[in-house]
Amino acid sequence: MKKIGRSGSSGPPPPPEPPAEAAQPAPPPSGPPTSGGGTSPGGGSPSGPVKGFAASFRDAVQRKFRELTGQKWQQATEAQKRAEATRRGAREVARRIERLTGKRPAESTVRRNARRNATPKGADQDRLNRQAAIDRAGGVKPFATKAGITQRRATKWRDSGGPILPPGPEGEAGAVSVEFDVTCDIFHVGPKGKVTPDYHRRLDNNTEPLFGDDLIVEEPDASDFLAAYASEDNETLRSILGDQLAMKVVSYWPGRPGRTVTVTIIHTINVR
């Protein structure tokens, strides 16, 4: 089971929102460096946005930071490790852009674009986002292992996009089975369209109408959900899970239709 903390929400904007969370505390000294985009660092799970050039650069830098192992780097200061990770991350991102555009930007240009969250001209940001997902997982092999797919399929998805899941029997669209335990806010639509919030509800696989069964997520959401699970993209997990719970769980409860679900905390989740 994977425990995932709170940072963001899913669901449509009209219902009222609970009070905003307090700002995240500063990272501990041993944490990975921040990127030029100004987002907060984290272990495998980013606390800032997971898409965009700033996020792509941040995830590359964090991966390089985690790869600074061995006696040399154990003896290095925090500032030395941060500087080296940033240098290696900028070099790696420049190399990736060269593969996409045929032109290698200067590392200073990469850092400047990250600060501005501006994708370099000619680069495919969707492709960079998929690479960032693999960076957060630690590489193709751990990403593929967590997603339960082959490394070849993970590489194909990184390079070309499309569904990450292989087709089901007889060419059917792929699907994933989800075990979950979440806290969420449920918004009930009453007479004359009045919305009544039900905050901090705990839902899991024992909730009606699942009664112990897995939650099945089909394409076109299944591939995005699996990629988010493998890369610990908590924001996307909560967003898709909220939509799925609205469609496949709370919509079967007695009362007026039209309930929506905002997942606030994922306590445990397992995808297969």
Q: At residue 57, does pLDDT exceed 50? A: yes
From CA 57, how far away is CA 12, in angstroms rounded? Answer: 29
Q: What pLDDT digit, counting tens, does each position of 61-77 carry?
A: 999 999 999 889 999 99
Q: At residue 13, does pLDDT exceed 80? A: no
pLDDT score of 5: 46
Q: How many CA atoms lie within 13 A of 228 on its CB side?
A: 21
Which of 50-54, 121-125, 162-166, 171-175 reaches the highest mean pLDDT? 121-125
Task: Name the residue type at position 234.
Answer: N
Whether residue 216 lies inside any domain: the answer is: yes
Q: Percent of the chain, pLDDT > 90? A: 72
C-alpha of 85 from chain center? 22
Cβ distance 261 to 185 under 8 Å?
yes
Q: At residue 185, does pLDDT exceed 80? A: yes
pLDDT score of 191: 85
Whether residue 213 lies inside any domain: the answer is: yes
Q: What pLDDT digit, counting tens, does each position of 224-264 carry?
A: 999 999 999 999 999 999 999 999 999 999 988 999 999 99
Q: How many domains does one find in the chain?
A: 1
Residue 242 CB contacts under 8 Å (≥ 6 apart), including other chains:
9, 10, 11, 184, 260, 261, 262, 263
pLDDT score of 46: 54
pLDDT score of 159: 96
Whether residue 43 lies inside any domain: the answer is: no
pLDDT category at 149 given cuts 50, 70, 90 is very high
Range of the domain at 195: 170-271
pLDDT category at 49 given cuts 50, 70, 90 is low
Whether residue 94 lies inside any domain: the answer is: no
pLDDT score of 38: 36
Average pLDDT in the 123-131 region?
97
Name the more confident of 49 and 30. 49
Q: What pLDDT digit, counting tens, does each position of 192-209 carry?
A: 889 999 999 999 999 999
- Going by C-alpha positions, the residue among 56, 21, 205, 68 that lies closest to residue 134 is 56
Query: What average pLDDT does the chain have?
Result: 86
Whether residue 131 lies inside any domain: the answer is: no
pLDDT score of 44: 45
Whether residue 224 lies inside any domain: the answer is: yes
pLDDT score of 265: 98
